């Protein structure tokens, strides 16, 4: 996810949650919906293909705060997951080396 704005040509954007981890590293990704509508049908949400999961532990979706975390299981291995975003705004936070505060963050918009 190198850009900030994505035009999916429809109401969904297809992405790959891929990371190449060095031996001894740790990574957690937190995705939060920033869309202002709080109804479940209109707030930006995502889904993913569990059969595409490589090396991620995935938390349960928090329906109160609209976020979910993806934590790398093993260092020195690649991680990947095919993920589908509905139209909306999302905060992507990166937590490296078990940091409790985000080491990087990015806001993306899927149109």
pLDDT in tens, the chain (111 residues): 444 444 444 445 678 999 999 999 999 999 999 976 655 555 778 999 999 999 999 999 998 899 999 999 999 999 999 999 888 889 999 999 999 999 999 998 887
- Would the CA dihedral through 82, 86, 92, 97 be positive or negative? negative
pLDDT value for 71: 98
Question: Does residue 17 contact residue 70 with C-beta atoms inside 8 Å?
Answer: yes
Contact criterion met (CB below 8 Å) for 71 and 5: no
d(CA 57, CA 47): 15
What pLDDT sits at residue 83?
93
Q: Which CATH class is domain 5-110?
A: mainly beta
Residue 88, pLDDT score: 86
What is the pLDDT, as a whole number, of residue 26?
A: 97
């Amino acid at each position: 996810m190198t850009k900030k704005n994505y035009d999916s040509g429809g109401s969904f954007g297809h992405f790959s949650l891929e990371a190449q981890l060095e031996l001894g590293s740790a990574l957690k990704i937190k995705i939060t919906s920033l869309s202002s509508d709080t109804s479940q049908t209109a707030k930006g949400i995502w889904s993913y293909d569990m059969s595409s999961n490589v090396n991620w532990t995935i938390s349960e979706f928090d329906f109160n705060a609209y976020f979910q975390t993806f934590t790398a299981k093993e260092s020195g291995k690649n991680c990947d997951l095919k993920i589908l975003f509905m139209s909306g705004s999302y905060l992507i936070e990166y937590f490296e080396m078990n940091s409790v505060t985000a080491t990087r963050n990015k806001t993306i918009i899927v149109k």
